[in-house]
Structure 1
């Protein structure tokens, strides 16, 4: 049985999404069976995996009961339809991403972001680099956007090819990429840069559209978009990157589905190596349905909703001295002029371990992530609690979370000590 702690009273009224957006969000929330089927729980872990709307579940059911077959390996109707569905989904991905040159680009399906980034590293990057070349990769983002590039370096070293891997520099206070420091790494042998769109711990848009201006027109850029696809609009023309890699399950599709979009403009053409076996057809069908659902809901509105919920949460946490919110400290207050978090807020209790906070929240029906968050070697060294929000979350759930956290902090509602 889950208990509800009264939310923190606020004066002035609490920050958050507008009243008009609430009318838009309410019927969308009703389309998630797992959410409506567990009214006592608040699912606050969408950065790990997003829940699935009924339209996605129905699309998978219709495929598996209507034309399930192996793609590209038959001439009968079901096989042909499956093959067509996969090709249609490739084009759907391009449209969703705002592909500026769909005739030249390619879309490949993988098992997820990690596999996709590793495929780019092993099957493309190692062919592009020569002895003495340099690359820049993030050492303080998700380890999936760190380890594959080191693996590529080691594979090249086994062949006698030595490259230099530069850590992406970060600004100390904002945790954003330090573009002035990055500019000092740009030289004649820089051949590749890996970046993250939305940081999986700090929730910040890492302003990757500015990276192209720094590295110049010829250096390929690979974007880890695991925390942005399905959460905010993407504009590939503005980002001007060469690879976009993301997981379907974080964008409301089934697990085991990922995408590598390759621009095909800088460097050799991207094609995964080896024999390509049976694809995850049900997962690909679910991805197409998920992208249709997200487009209909409106990525810009989803971003506005989740950012608003994040503002409500950070504003409440800023009133509780017992907690440290990770990331740019200037973005905590509701009236902050700096960039907001993308519906993802990570924090620590100053004396209680993150895992213990997670257990307490789970006992109150609040489902969050509480561990090391898969940080790469230069990232946060201590465990933390991450709250990640999506379109099915509500201001009331955020207030309920703040109420429990205030009790754990030893604070009276509205501030002060007991």
Structure 2
């Protein structure tokens, strides 16, 4: 059910029920309800936290706060058990089809997680003359680690080619047909992004497995999808070997993230070095956030934010002063596209006359908090943009009001 279109009479009850569901969830975010004059539209950078997560953090810090795996007294034991329960909770949330064979490693976020895989796994898995495919036009966190791995191997005399994952020119999805033509006997690894942090599109990563065959490990940057839409691993879903995400983008505390590693292709992931003290309070917040998301319904959250993004692009496409980045075929609410081909709650734009950083300041003066910079994007086009990124606590009224303010500037 799309909030971007008026419902026929037979669907009015469904629309009202969905709106009531969203109002109930919005009320659970104290920072949102505590600032009714502000609209937080930067959830792709970090999400706000529901009361259930704040309560879980308070409960942990006031009842069992201790180090994990380093003590035998009750608080330490309970903290250790909490960490292990959260590992299992991550597997369950991702729909892990074989949890007994996979592993979960906690990190400070997606960036660190990808670097761990590059440094501690990929560099042990490649030989001279091998090649890997990685995204050249996504977030630099999913490009720099693989180039760093290439440099580390080169220092040892191992030459590895880092090739660009091909992208379709119009849709900005990965071009699985072009990839299939490029893959060769020395292809050893593919890194991909699930939802693009600028264009907002689902990158159709499920097509990559067929393109590269059954034996090539695939690493998925899921920073913009975990917590925003359903994730299901394995056959019929995402047939990948690593999933990396940031807890702070999925309603948990900052400094929290995870690597899910299947370990069926190549050596198992074993992060190097002494692990040190884990971010136990962050891990406690992550468990609570995943519980909250499951109760709210990831599919409904995705439907809501996708509909809001569609509503915004439908308004902006009629304003010639604005360039909307990403697939142009999905701008209108009347476009016959399936939901997965629409923007997943992210709309990035440029004004043709107002610099993006200035536009960001103007929008804040009207009560809108948006991202306005280059968005850490790799590739040639690193000009600043304004990004509007939505979550379940955002409303149709906020989107309509934002569109109205942007119209006055056109």
TM-score normalized by structure 1? 0.93
Distance 2:47 2:172 in 1: 25
Alignment partner for residue 216 of structure 2, among 208, 214, 219?
Answer: 219
**Aligned pairs (5 A) from 1:23-102:** 23-102=20-99
State how 1:333-348 maps to structure 2 within 5 Å.
Answer: 333-338=332-337, 339-348=341-350
Deviations 1:191-239 (A, max 9, x none): 0000000000000000000100000000000000000000000011111
2:5 touches 2:333 (CA, 8 Å); kept in 1?
A: no
- Decide whether the 8 Å contact of 1:242 with 1:265 is kept in 2: yes
Shift of residue 377, structure 1, vs aligned partner: 2.7
Q: How many residues align?
A: 398
Partners of 1:14 and 1:312 within 8 A in 2: no
Q: Which residue of 2 aligns with 1:7?
A: none
| Pick aligned residue for 2:376 from 359, 374, 378 | 374
RMSD: 1.5
Residues 29-86 of structure 1: CA deviation (Å, up to 9, x unaligned)? 0000000000000000000000000000000000000010011111000000000000
Q: How far off its partner does 1:184 sit?
A: 1.7
Give how far 1:116 is off.
0.2
Instruction: Output the CA distance in 1 between the equivalents of 2:400 and 2:372.
Output: 19
Question: What is the Cα deviation at residue 351 of structure 1?
Answer: 1.1
In the alignment, the residues of structure 2 paired with residue 362 and residue 78 of structure 1 have an alpha-carbon distance, to the nearest angstrom, of 45
Whose relative contact order is higher, 1 or 2, with alpha carbons under 8 Å and at least 6 apart? 1
Q: Which residue of 2 aligns with 1:4?
A: none
- SS of the residue corresponding to residue 47 of structure 2 reads coil
Where structure 2 has 5 or more consecutive residues not aligned to the other structure, the ranges are 9-13
Q: 1:113 deviation in Å?
A: 0.2
In structure 2, what is the Cα distance between the partners aligned to 1:178 and 1:185?
Answer: 11
CA deviations over 1:254-278 (Å, ceiling 9, x no partner): 0000100000100001010000100
Q: What's the CA shift string for 1:78-137, capped at 9, x where partnerless?
A: 000000000000000000000010000000000000000000000000000000000000
Cα deviation for residue 18 of structure 1 reads 3.3
Runs of 4+ in 1 over 3 A off after TM superposition: 11-15
Consecutive unaligned residues in structure 1, runs of 5 or more: 1-10, 410-418
TM-score by length of 2: 0.95
1:359 corresponds to? 361
